[in-house]
Structure 1
Amino acid sequence: MSLRQVIGAATGAALLLLVAPSAVAVSRASDELTVDPAGHVAADGTVTLSGTYRCLSASGPVFVSSSVSQGDSRVYYGIGGSSAVCDGAEHRWTNSEKRAPGALTPGTAHVEATLMELSATGLPLPMFHAIQDQDIKVVAG
């Protein structure tokens, strides 16, 4: 094993140790995230997903991210991202992203949405407030 491989392996292990504690804190009991049962795809390929979220507090910036898969479960398309406000109230989120026409068609699809905070101190690490993973119906329009 070369010195470069040893340093690379040590760096990777150190980064994993840094991220692991944050990644374990998934889904706070008081925070909620929903995905609407229908998403939309326009003729130009623009995909729109939406739902609601609620989070009580955060010390860093918070975002709702979403991705969608249809057909091949190994292929997910990132569908935008939006800022979130953690004030305890329920809020709507909507994410849109233009994909190649035909990348997503009307029918069943699978959505993964995440309510995620970036820690406000030191290296910004993700802290997951809520995750929603569900099938939806994609409709034209």
Structure 2
Amino acid sequence: MSLRQVIGATTGAALLLLVAPTAVAVSTGALSESYDAVSVDPTGHVAADGTITLSGTYRCLSSRGPVLVSSSVSQGDTRIRYGIGGTAAVCDGAEHRWTNSEKRASGTLAPGGANVEATLMELSPGAGGLPLPLFHAMRQQDITLMAG
């Protein structure tokens, strides 16, 4: 076998290994139904007393420990994020709504553009009983904070 044949066979095998798992997953529909997800609604709310309310949907298939949907928001300086509550999640494979609210000092956040990060996180039993974070899904999205 010549050097050209060896290189050609090796390249072909490597390409097949890279493409084959993706092709199998797509053809069986595995990619569309085998993932956890979290979304963020395009609008949130800022009440007169400084309470911020964010919402969206989530889906998770299974868990060994408690699962939470946490959220944070930034406005203006992207290095500063404000935690906005947390919601207990049910991991049954169905899509569910989440809503998180947190009272912030008045004027901390105002109506207008903002960036929200929502995280679907499990407190998974770890070695020695210490719970460890296991991240199921995360989404960052620009939204509009509305007065009210």
TM range (shorter): 0.7 to 0.9
1:136 maps to amino acid: I
Partner deviation per Cα, 1:92-135 (whole Å, 9 max, x = no partner): 00000000111110110000110000112432110000000110
What's 1:65 paired with?
70
Please tell me whether the aligned partners of residues 38 and 137 of structure 1 are also in contact (alpha carbons under 8 angstroms): yes
Partner deviation per Cα, 1:70-93 (whole Å, 9 max, x = no partner): 011111100000100000010000
Tell which structure's C-alpha radius of gyration is larger.
Answer: 2
What's 1:56 paired with?
61
Following superposition, the deviation at residue 138 of structure 1 comes to 0.4
Distance in 1 separating the partners of 2:78 and 2:37: 25
Distance in 1 separating the partners of 2:41 and 2:100: 12
What's 1:134 paired with?
141
What's 1:36 paired with?
41
Q: Comparing both structures, which one devotes a greater share of its residues to helix?
A: 2
Match for residue 88 of structure 1 among 72, 85, 93: 93
What's 2:80 paired with?
75
Distance in 1 separating the partners of 2:97 and 2:72: 17
Identity %: 74
What's 2:131 paired with?
124
Aligned length: 113
Moved runs in structure 1, 4+ residues, more than 4 A?
Answer: none
Distance in 2 separating the partners of 1:32 and 1:73: 24
Match for residue 104 of structure 2 among 93, 99, 107: 99
1:36 maps to amino acid: D
The alignment's TM-score, normalised by the length of structure 1, stands at 0.78
